[in-house]
A = this chain, B = another copy of it.
Amino acid sequence: MPVQAQIRVLYGDTDAMGQAYYGNYLKWFEVGRAEWFRARGMSYREVESRGVFLPVVEAHCSYRKPAFYDDILYIATSFEFAGPARLKFEYEITRDGDVLTTGYTVHVCVSKDRKVLKPPDYLKALLEPNHETIR
Q: Is the interface of A mostly helix, strand, loop or mixed?
A: mixed
* CB contact list, A5-19 vs B, under 8 A: 8, 10-12, 14-19
**Contact size class for A?**
35 or more
Interchain CB contact (< 8 A) of A16 among B16, B23, B26, B105 = B16
Within 8 A of B (CB), among A89-112: 105
CB distance A10 to B31 under 8 Å? yes
Contact with B along A1-45 (1 / 0, CB 8 A): 000000010111011111101111011001100100000000111
Could you tell me which A residues sit within 8 Å of B by CB distance?
Answer: 8, 10-12, 14-19, 21-24, 26-27, 30-31, 34, 43-45, 53, 55-64, 66, 68-70, 105
